[in-house]
């Protein structure tokens, strides 16, 4: 059961939530480092959550490799690591409450059909009263968010068709959808701040609306630039970005700090990873991070 709503006046609680579909790459490090430094610079807590709800994409052993990599880079988390795959009871209970309130409905539309109707779901099945068995579950979008303020990107505008779209909260294959579980997890873990990559700007609007629908305050969001090898080609596990070297974390850490707009002094060239993170924590400010959505990295990474 979800705990009562909390005020943002309490302590800072941030999180890093990787999916175990492969090892951490440089783009992952940027998000993890920014999230960690933001929390620690505010004397806050930093949690790690393994987002393994999309089981077909899970790579065996990737979760352990991710956690070992974070430790090698000095990014030590507070509290026990949470796995989404172990939280089905929470998701089922919350979805049942939405069903009782007639806020979800079954949808039989395929991606091909939606593409033929313009590429955006037009709430076609909302009034058809279809059975849930064998169909996707969609949430009625009663709290559309067309604009929101991001702590790095400033005011963000979301296309109206996306903002008003009824989106999937449980897939046709029976798996819970990311948009639902990420909000339920953030509520249950009392997350107050989310620092992550700019590729998640549009999903943030849906998440903000769902926080309202569930009657809980939303975290403060800050979206860092995406690391791209070239324009339009982001570093990702799907694009086979190379794993960062956990045996030698210092070069990648310094490169990530430069990427985020910080200029580590030359004295840190001979420092260990703990000393680098101490300097970075004391120097950290979201205002230093560039606003650009995509930022190329040099070829040395």
Query: Is residue 273 situated within a structural domain?
Result: yes
How would you class 102 by CB atoms within 10 Å of its CB: exposed for 0-12, middle for 13-18, buried for 19 or more? Answer: exposed
Q: Annotated binding residue at 237?
A: yes
| 107 appears as a binding residue in the annotation | yes
Q: Which is nearest to 16 in space by CA: 68, 90, 62, 66? A: 66
Q: Is 178 annotated as a binding residue?
A: yes
The DSSP code for 180 is H
The total of other beta-carbon atoms located within 10 Å of residue 113's CB is 11
What does the pLDDT look like over 31-90, one tens digit per residue?
999 999 999 999 999 999 999 999 999 999 999 999 999 999 999 999 999 999 999 999
Number of domains in the chain: 1
Q: Is 7 among the domain residues?
A: no
Q: Determine whether the annotation assigns residue 121 to a binding site.
A: yes
Whether 111 has a binding-site annotation, put simply, is no
- Per the domain annotation, does 133 fall within a domain? no
Q: How many helices (H) and strands (E) does the chain have?
A: 9, 13
Q: Is residue 284 part of a domain?
A: yes
CATH number at residue 209: 3.40.50.620
Residue 279, in any domain of the structure: yes
Structural domain of 43? 13-100+181-296
**Poorest-pLDDT segment among 148-157, 230-239, 262-271:** 230-239
> Looking at 60-64, 143-147, 219-223, 240-244, which range is the least confident one?
240-244
The answer to whether position 114 is within a domain reads no
Query: Is position 18 annotated in a ligand binding site?
Result: yes
* SS3 track for 109-141: CCHHHHHHCCCCCCCCCCCCCCCCCCCEEEECC
Q: Is residue 214 part of a domain?
A: yes
């Amino acid at each position: 059961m979800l705990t009562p709503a909390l005020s943002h006046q309490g302590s800072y609680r941030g999180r890093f939530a990787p999916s175990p579909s492969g090892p951490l790459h440089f783009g992952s490090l940027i998000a993890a480092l920014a999230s960690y430094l933001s929390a620690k610079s505010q004397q806050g807590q930093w949690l790690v959550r393994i987002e393994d709800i999309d089981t077909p994409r899970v790579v065996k052993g990737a979760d352990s490799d991710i956690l070992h990599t974070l430790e090698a880079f000095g990014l030590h988390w507070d509290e026990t690591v949470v796995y989404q795959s172990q939280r089905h009871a929470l998701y089922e209970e919350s979805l049942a409450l939405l069903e009782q309130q007639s806020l979800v409905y079954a949808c039989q539309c395929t991606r091909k059909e939606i593409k033929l109707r313009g590429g955006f779901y037009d709430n076609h099945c909302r009034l058809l009263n279809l059975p849930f068995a064998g169909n996707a579950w969609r949430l009625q979008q009663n709290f559309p968010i067309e604009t929101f303020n991001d702590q790095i990107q400033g005011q963000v505008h979301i296309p109206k068709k996306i903002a008003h779209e009824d989106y999937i909260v449980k897939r046709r294959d029976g798996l819970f959808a990311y948009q639902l579980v990420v909000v339920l997890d953030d509520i249950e873990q009392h997350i107050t701040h989310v620092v992550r990559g700019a590729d998640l700007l549009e999903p943030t609007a849906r998440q903000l609306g769902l926080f309202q629908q569930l009657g809980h305050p939303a975290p403060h969001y800050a979206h860092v630039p995406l690391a791209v090898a070239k324009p339009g080609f982001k570093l990702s596990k799907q694009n086979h970005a190379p794993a960062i070297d956990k045996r030698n974390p210092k070069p990648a850490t310094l490169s990530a700090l430069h990427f985020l707009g910080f200029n580590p002094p030359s004295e840190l060239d001979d420092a260990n990873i703990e000393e680098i993170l101490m300097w970075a924590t004391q120097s950290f400010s979201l205002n230093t991070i560039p606003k650009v959505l995509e930022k190329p990295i040099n070829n040395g990474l």
